[in-house]
Structure 1
Amino acid sequence: MADYIQPLAVETTLGVLGVPPQDRPAVSRSALSGAASRKETRSEFATALKHLPHWTGQPAYDIEEHVVRPSLLRLLAKLDVDGDQLTAEDLHAAFLLLLGACLMVADVVSGALWHVVSDRVAYEKVRAQTTDGELSVPAVDELLRFTASGRDMLLRFATEPLSIAGQAVETGDAVLLDTAAGNRDVSVFDAPSELRPDRALNRHLAFGRGSYNCLGAALARTHLAIAVGTLISRCGGLRLAPGADTAAWPDGWNGASPTRLEVNLG
């Protein structure tokens, strides 16, 4: 996974952010070394990335000089809401957040590949949903639903009294949301424990919902569609190598995917 999924996710994200080509190898090495350390918390993971090149913390006016155009960082630097602009610290935080998020997407892609190649029936169903090296939209959504673990419980506070499954929740009460459980809700999904790449209606929570919907959802979908679709198209007959079903699945917040995946061709 460290040789395929993670570099693909990082390089693509650096391009979207606007990191100059000459700086990308250094930034990529920093990000991938942080991922390889398998830090247990987000704060520790961010610490592992703090030795990124200094240019990521340049003041907003220097973005014009240091970031390629067009790019997301350039747009953020120019953002003006009622006269209020992002500071250099804001831009640096956004950079780290987006870079860390792309590695989480790599985890989801790795987990999706494991599920596909470990189940021959699922593999054939996914391959039927692959065209020109890219997965169909229904296949992408189903792999997101099936794989995205909701590795964190989401903490929210009730803004008004309500009842959830007969449980009274008062204003101000803390509520922990398990999106993984929501993605396997039998009242929403028919046969939720079955991978169905042609599932027509798929209201999964892999990217949240409403105002909390993930801003990087489109890029994450593209990563998944191309990374899995390309492998299936170019390497027909992928299947787990003998004994590979015991692949390492690390613990911790980023332990939702195998660190390696041994496969046979044909």
Structure 2
Amino acid sequence: MLRVSHQQEPLAYPFEQPEKLELHPVYAELRQRPLARVRMPYGEDAWLITRYADAKAVLSDHRFSMAAALGGDRPRVRPVAVSGGGLLSTDGPDHTRLRGTVAKAFTARSIERLRDRVREIARDLLDRMVRSGAPADLGDRFAFPLAITVIGELLGVDQDGHLGVRHWLDVMMSHTVTADDFHLWNKKFAAYTADLVELRRQEPGDDLFSALVRAHDEEGRITMEELMALTPVLISAGFVTTFNQISNSCYLLLARPDRFSLLLDRPETVPRAVEELLRYVPLPNGFAFPRYTTEDIELGGVVVRAGDPVLVDTAAANRDPAVFDDPDELVLDRATNPHLSFGHGSHYCIGAHLARVELQVALEVLLEDMPGLKLGVPEDELRWKTRTMVNGLHELPVTW
């Protein structure tokens, strides 16, 4: 096991991937010590946040800036750094302005109006899967098309582009992508976005992408560069995380049939179970968007100097025993659950309510329509993705 030194010799990060959806045991040790420095494969050293209180403090304090990361040698897992200009690389008024261009589409009221449509899509996908017969890949036949269809309809992205978007995201999420491939696929996606802009200029609709085009062309609220930067963030955040969270959640329920049975007996607890699955699943795999301190700040028993980057590991914070009883146990009916899976503060995930609706509906429809669902292979035959930014399965074989 990796041991933590009392000295500030940086630890190699990310830590080796543990089995399945477990966290590396060193996180528990780090929470007992002053803030630790880590050395990413690329970029400068950073401070790693693992305690809940420290994470919440950083996420809500404007002195930890995301915009300050632009132009620097940011700590990262691969040679190429993600370009800026979107919601994840702005602060203050710029962030508020950009967030305001999309916020209306993601209000709780707006998203609740989509719940019946999400249910319709989910039920149709399951009907098709059943007609094709068992066994089936629940990820490919249900989780993926549900997530991409919902965000596609919201944005106004035609289904013909879904497979291309999926391949682009596989490249963007890879820890091993080369700089050449990264830039090649970024150019392809930029061309795809430019075509969408022209399409929505000629055929405007009620979708979010049409609203973004109007915000640029008619209202002058965003630049074209900002529009081009917003699009991949909205698609990736609205699809990759939800798709993998649905698959990971179903795995956790089916690997322990008593968990699935608990929800079958008490379907009214699905919303609470969704929150616990969000807390428990360590979806980001060893990466975080760095924040840079704008002044010296005391944090976690050390002084973080102005200009130092910090990385908030929300998966580790979500397992902090100071906040959560039995933090390493999946407690589906956990009563109090202030997890940080959607972040906190001004950068709180704008699509949080959409993700919750999709996750709730996905589980509700599976419970209602497929009460006999079970894993299609022994658990130890499941193949887990490695060297990618998001934890998940290559496929989730099921039968019924």
**TM-score range normalised by the length of the shorter chain:** 0.7 to 0.9
Question: CA separation in 1, counterparts of 2:292 and 2:277?
Answer: 30
Corresponding residue number in structure 1 for 2:149? 11
Work out whether 1:180 is the aligned partner of 2:318.
no
Aligned runs of 1:152-191 on 2, under 5 Å?
A: 152-191=287-326
Selected match of 2:210 from 69, 74, 81? 74
Question: CA separation in 2, counterparts of 1:53 and 1:10?
Answer: 19
Corresponding residue number in structure 1 for 2:277? 143
Change (3 A) 1:195 1:228: same
Aligned runs of 1:1-266 on 2, under 5 Å?
A: 1-19=139-157, 24-35=158-169, 40-41=174-175, 47-48=184-185, 51=188, 56-58=193-195, 63-68=200-205, 70-79=206-215, 84-101=220-237, 102-131=239-268, 136-151=270-285, 152-265=287-400
Provide, for residues 108-136 of structure 1, a one-character-per-residue CA deviation record: whole Å limited to 9, x for no partner.
211111111111232233334535xxx73
Please, which moves more after superposition, 167-176 or 36-45? 36-45
Question: CA separation in 1, counterparts of 2:146 and 2:330?
Answer: 25
Q: CA deviation at 1:220?
A: 1.3
Aligned partners of 2:168 and 2:189 also within 8 Å: no
Aligned partners of 1:67 and 1:74 also within 8 Å: yes
Aligned partners of 1:142 and 1:202 also within 8 Å: yes
Corresponding residue number in structure 1 for 2:29? none
Question: CA separation in 2, counterparts of 1:263 and 1:61?
Answer: 42
Q: CA deviation at 1:15?
A: 0.7
Q: Which has the larger radius of gyration?
A: 2
Change (3 A) 1:38 1:232: farther
Question: CA separation in 2, counterparts of 1:207 and 1:46?
Answer: 28
Question: CA separation in 2, counterparts of 1:172 and 1:38?
Answer: 27
Provide, for residues 46-99 of structure 1, a one-character-per-residue CA deviation record: whole Å limited to 9, x for no partner.
85475469673159686343342x22122223337xx74334443333222222
Question: CA separation in 1, counterparts of 2:387 and 2:169?
Answer: 12
Q: Residue type matched to 1:137 in 2?
A: P
- Which secondary structure does the structure 2 equivalent of 1:180 belong to? helix
Aligned partners of 2:190 and 2:228 also within 8 Å: no
Pairwise CA RMSD: 3.0
Change (3 A) 1:256 1:167: same
Q: Residue type matched to 1:92 in 2?
A: M
Q: What's the TM-score once normalised by structure 1's chain length?
A: 0.82
Question: CA separation in 2, counterparts of 1:105 and 1:253?
Answer: 16
Question: CA separation in 1, counterparts of 2:199 and 2:208?
Answer: 15
- Which secondary structure does the structure 2 equivalent of 1:175 belong to? strand
Q: CA deviation at 1:153?
A: 3.0
- Which secondary structure does the structure 1 equivalent of 2:227 belong to? helix
* Higher relative contact order, structure no. (Cα contacts within 8 Å, ≥ 6 residues apart): 2
Aligned partners of 2:241 and 2:283 also within 8 Å: no
Identical aligned residues as a percent: 28
Structure 2 portions without partners, runs of 5+: 1-138
